[in-house]
Amino acid sequence: MRARWWLTLGLALVLAGLGSPMAGAQEEEEPAPSPLDLDEEVDVSGIEQILRGDQEVMQGEIFSYDPAGRRDPFRSLQEGFEEEEVGSGKVRPPGLAGMLVEELRVEGIIQTPSGILAFVQGRDNLSYIIRPGTKLYNGEVKEIFPDRVVFKQQAADPKQVRPYEEVVRELVY
């Protein structure tokens, strides 16, 4: 039974051309001609026309966006909320009105008959006296406690529910 199976398998291989070593050598397939072997010229005018069209689009000659009252999806949501770079044209006012909350360091807090005050050092290494309601470049002083100052800073994230966030600066000992 087993010999019969081997005989059938050998016959099938011979008929398929896999059994004899000369079967692969008898039929050699000719390789397909590559596009570079052709003597014909290739028409590239269509490619040049597409490239010219791409250049026109990149120059803005064809594409324009009409928002029709909707938000422009090509503009950043944070536009207008970024911190101005030095030399960008917008100059901050001098003194506390031009200081950011991040640029202040609380150095002292005192209680006076007229209320509680805090001494802060700014980015210009000068000391300033602040009280609740003092305006800064990106916020204002909300409250002063004996050990910390709470600032109400404008939020940099337009998706926030509140347009401000509270920043607490502790007294530096």
Radius of gyration (Cα) for the chain, nearest Å?
39
HEC string for 84-97: CCCCCCCCCCCHHH
- Which residue in 96, 149, 155 sits closest to 122, CA to CA? 96
Model pLDDT, residue 145: 93
C-alpha 116/C-alpha 152 separation (Å) is 17
Question: Which residues in the chain show pLDDT less than 50?
Answer: 19, 23, 87
**pLDDT tens profile 122-147:** 988 899 999 999 999 989 999 999 99
Q: How many CB atoms lie within 10 A of CB 5?
A: 9
* DSSP classification of residue 149: E
Alpha helices (runs of H) in the chain, residue ranges in sequence order: 2-16, 23-26, 45-58
Model pLDDT, residue 136: 92
C-alpha 34/C-alpha 55 separation (Å) is 32
Model pLDDT, residue 149: 94
Model pLDDT, residue 40: 67
| Structural domains for the chain | 95-170 (2.30.30.830)
Which whole-number Å values give the CA distances from 37 to 34, 40, 41, 42, in the listed order? 5, 9, 11, 12
Model pLDDT, residue 84: 53
Model pLDDT, residue 16: 67
Residue at 117: amino acid letter: L
C-alpha 129/C-alpha 146 separation (Å) is 15
Contact 151, 164 (CB under 8 A): no
C-alpha 56/C-alpha 49 separation (Å) is 11
Model pLDDT, residue 109: 94
